[in-house]
Structure 1
Amino acid sequence: MRAVTWQGRRDIQVHDVPDPRIEDPGDVVLKVTRTGLCGSDLHLYEVMGPFMSTGDVLGHETMGEVVEVGAGITNLAVGDRVVVPFQIACGDCFMCRKGLQTQCETTQVREHGTGAALFGYSELYGSVPGGQAEYLRVPHADYGAIKVGPDLPDERYVYLSDVMPTAWQAVRYADVHEGDTLAVVGLGPIGDMAARLALHQGIRVIGIDLVPERLERARQRGVETLHVEDDDVVEKVFSLTSGRGADGVIDAVGMEAHGSPAPSVLQKAVGLLPDGLAKQAMTSASVDRLAALHLSTQLVRRGGTVSLSGVYTGTHDPMPMQQLFDRQVTLRMGQANVKRWVDDLMPLAERADDPLGLESFATHRLSLEDAPRAYDIFQRKDDGAVKVVFDPSL
């Protein structure tokens, strides 16, 4: 089959790789019909290369048609249409029963002290082949795979794999309610979707980014927008909120934020080290660019909540602890627990009026063969690339 593979830093190539096969009775194999390019994939493209191996198959936002089932599968059949959460969870362990599927005790990658295995996301999360391919093996499919109806287009469902639950969890963790003000730092796919979900709940949204196309896209949905490079962006948010700040703030950027020049140089330097030294540096040092996180802590009101959905990896990154303590700020964070939120989100995905604009959410629908270009334009924020979805049939 054809698949999008990692060949080195900023080197994405499409190659023939072996077809996946059933390896466990709980597996199914899908023919992939849609698979997304996520902002988190760019961390592999740029920063997290030391944890990648040449030929790794990328991608963790996938849906498709079941073409083969393991002997232990009783709730799925060949021909079923399913969405695959980005994490692999068993559904039976203590963590899964708590609704913390990203901490699944069955698939935790204990070698690296990380949570549940993820599709297409480096040795830190299990080196599981990803979904930017023609076919995908899905472990624990009897629990993880989300069966969907036959009638609506793929674009109504594919975002249930990651974008919608990640954005929904970010809004929930921000602890905002109807009539509150939510600031969203970063209007990429997650920030954009979080803004849409919040607006749908009657929450006022102030969106902050540096890409004109992203700002305009959010503005058209009803978001009040600010350019992150405005000298007085914090002052403007306080002015818009009676001098208090936002009730909740979502950092939808993560460790590669613009505005952190010194850590940016450090990230690039670490990427040039031999893998062993680079791994040690990334897991025991301060390597994140914290501009978005620091901005988020400045925007939130006293007693408010900062919700982190952007990925961070450094273990000794500096935080303004005195200010956070004095202002009684709550921090909540983590990978989205997809299955926990599906019942909340499925009705929105299937509503006839498409209130979140899912069918037009992608700015680019491309073939797998276009993946090298897709990663390039998405990383450079070029050509209006906010969300790329691959269609293997093209």
Structure 2
Amino acid sequence: MRAITWHGKHDMRCESVPDPEVEHGRDAIIKVTSCAICGSDLHFYDGFMPGMESGDIVGHEFMGEVMEVGRDNKKLKVGDRVVVPFTIVCGECDQCRAGRFSVCERSNRNADTAAKMFGHTSAGLFGYSHLTGGYAGGQAEFVRVPFADAGPVKVPSTLTDEQVLFLGDILPTGWQGAAECEIKPTDTVAIWGAGPVGLFALQSAKIMGARQVIVIDEVPERLAIAERMGAITIDFSKESTVERLNELTDNKGPECCIDCVGMEAHSGYTLEHAYDRIKQTVMAETDRPHVLREMIYVCRPGGTISVPGVYGGIVDKIPFGAAMNKSLTFKMGQTHVNKWADDLLRRIEEGQFDTTSFISHRGTLEDAPELYKTFRDKADGCTKVVLTP
């Protein structure tokens, strides 16, 4: 089969690789009908995600048709149409039973390695580092799905691939980012990042009844979409984010701050940004935490900071004293996709979400290496890439 493989920083290839096979009775083999390049894929594209190995098949946003099921899989049958969550979940461990699917205790087959870095393991993920299991990803013609009687979400034929594809990652990620803020009708929600996750967090905050939603970015195309979706926008390259947020909240700050950027945050052409870039380049810190610093500074005392953006390791110069003294609450983590999937599928069917208008580029697997670059550079008005194997 054909698949997208990682061979180092900025080196993505469309190659022929062996077809996957059923390895366990709960497995399924999925023929991929649609997949996407996610913003978090750019972290390994730029060489910042530890645990990648040359030749890894990447991609964790995908859906398709069931082609084969293991003997113990009673949930799926050949021909079923499914979206596959990016988190691999057993459905049986203490964490899964509690609805904390992204920290499944059994699905990371490299759990010992993950525990050495994080203290305990988290769930296995598709196409995303050997720290999370080293599983082959979904930017491919076929995928082996472990624990396929627990994770995949069946979707109706009445919805197109593009309407439901993002149910496996970025839609529930944006939703969880907003839900963990416990938004009240009087709240101002500030969202850093107008990429796809930020746009879903924006839509979610509006559905949850926020008084006003403010989105911070510098990319004109993304800011324009956010405005169309009902947000007040701040272009941080042209004005002070802190000053503008204070102006919009009577100098009280937003009650809810959501980081939809993660480890490669930009802060313009500042000394802080140069400092973080240099430290990240020499691996003195793995992530650029500008957004975290800014959220702690600007968030209203007693407010909530929600972090759906991906971080991979170590950051420094975090004003933790400010966070403590302002009584801030932090909520964060990879997304518990299966906790939200059924409700969000219903909301898609009811038309509550715009899941398609921000898709700017479409292509085949052969187009993917160049589209990675286009997406990373935000060139050609690129806001989201969908691939059809």
TM-score, with length taken from structure 1? 0.92
1:375 to 368, 372, 378: 372
Q: Tell me the CA shift for residue 263 of structure 1.
A: 2.0
Tell me, what secondary structure is at the counterpart of 1:289? coil
Per the alignment, residue 237 of structure 2 pairs with 229
1:196 to 199, 203, 207: 203
What do residues 105-129 of structure 1 show as CA deviations (whole Å, max 9, x unaligned)?
1123222213111000011111100
Write the distance in 2 (CA, Å) between the matches of 1:258 and 1:151: 40
What do residues 252-290 of structure 1 show as CA deviations (whole Å, max 9, x unaligned)?
1111111222221232334xxxxxxxxxxxxxx533111
Per the alignment, residue 53 of structure 1 pairs with 53
Cα RMSD over matched residues?
1.4
Tell me, what secondary structure is at the counterpart of 1:193? helix
Write the distance in 2 (CA, Å) between the matches of 1:324 and 1:49: 27
Moved more, 257-266 or 56-65: 257-266
Unaligned segments of structure 2, at least 5 residues: 116-120, 268-272
Write the distance in 2 (CA, Å) between the matches of 1:92 and 1:51: 27
Tell me, what secondary structure is at the counterpart of 2:82? strand
Tell me, what secondary structure is at the counterpart of 1:302? coil
Moved more, 33-42 or 354-363: 354-363
Q: Tell me the CA shift for residue 69 of structure 1.
A: 0.7
Alignment of 1:142-221 (within 5 A): 142-203=149-210, 204-221=212-229
What do residues 52-104 of structure 1 show as CA deviations (whole Å, max 9, x unaligned)?
11111000011100011110111211100001010111001000011111111
Counterpart of 2:346, as a letter, is P
Per the alignment, residue 8 of structure 1 pairs with 8
Q: Tell me the CA shift for residue 49 of structure 1.
A: 5.5
Q: Tell me the CA shift for residue 199 of structure 1.
A: 1.5
- Tell whether 2:355 aligns with 1:355: no
Tell me, what secondary structure is at the counterpart of 1:206? strand
Write the distance in 2 (CA, Å) between the matches of 1:385 and 1:139: 33
- Tell whether 2:90 aligns with 1:83: no
Q: Is the 8 A contact 2:89 2:102 kept in 1?
A: yes
Q: Tell me the CA shift for residue 298 of structure 1.
A: 2.2
Write the distance in 2 (CA, Å) between the matches of 1:75 and 1:94: 21
Alignment of 1:307-326 (within 5 A): 307-315=306-314, 317-326=316-325
| Aligned residue pairs, count | 376
Tell me, what secondary structure is at the counterpart of 1:371? helix
What do residues 210-251 of structure 1 show as CA deviations (whole Å, max 9, x unaligned)?
111111111111110001234432121111112211110101
Unaligned segments of structure 1, at least 5 residues: 271-284
Tell me, what secondary structure is at the counterpart of 1:194? helix
Q: Tell me the CA shift for residue 315 of structure 1.
A: 3.1
Write the distance in 1 (CA, Å) between the matches of 2:327 and 2:50: 37
Write the distance in 1 (CA, Å) between the matches of 2:328 and 2:309: 18
Write the distance in 2 (CA, Å) between the matches of 1:266 and 1:286: 6
Per the alignment, residue 125 of structure 1 pairs with 132
Tell me, what secondary structure is at the counterpart of 1:31? strand
Q: Tell me the CA shift for residue 130 of structure 1.
A: 0.0
Q: Is the 8 A contact 2:107 2:123 kept in 1?
A: yes
Per the alignment, residue 389 of structure 1 pairs with 386
Per the alignment, residue 278 of structure 1 pairs with none
- Judged with a 3 Å threshold, the aligned counterparts in structure 2 of structure 1 residues 350 and 170 are, in CA distance, closer, same or farther, namely same
Per the alignment, residue 244 of structure 1 pairs with 252
TM-score, with length taken from structure 2? 0.94
1:112 to 111, 114, 135: 114
Q: Tell me the CA shift for residue 316 of structure 1.
A: 5.0
Q: Is the 8 A contact 1:185 1:207 kept in 2?
A: yes
Aligned-pair identity in percent equals 44
Q: Is the 8 A contact 1:263 1:287 kept in 2?
A: no
Tell me, what secondary structure is at the counterpart of 1:143? coil
Write the distance in 1 (CA, Å) between the matches of 2:353 and 2:185: 17
Counterpart of 1:383, as a letter, is D
Write the distance in 1 (CA, Å) between the matches of 2:190 and 2:134: 35
Tell me, what secondary structure is at the counterpart of 2:185? coil
Q: Tell me the CA shift for residue 169 of structure 1.
A: 0.6
Q: Is the 8 A contact 2:168 2:337 kept in 1?
A: yes
Q: Tell me the CA shift for residue 165 of structure 1.
A: 0.9
Write the distance in 2 (CA, Å) between the matches of 1:287 and 1:8: 17
Alignment of 1:329-348 (within 5 A): 329-348=328-347
Q: Tell me the CA shift for residue 170 of structure 1.
A: 0.3
Per the alignment, residue 289 of structure 2 pairs with 290
Q: Is the 8 A contact 2:49 2:312 kept in 1?
A: no
Tell me, what secondary structure is at the counterpart of 1:35? strand
Tell me, what secondary structure is at the counterpart of 1:51? coil
Q: Is the 8 A contact 1:47 1:267 kept in 2?
A: no
Q: Is the 8 A contact 2:307 2:332 kept in 1?
A: yes
Counterpart of 1:257, as a letter, is A
- Judged with a 3 Å threshold, the aligned counterparts in structure 2 of structure 1 residues 341 and 50 are, in CA distance, closer, same or farther, namely closer
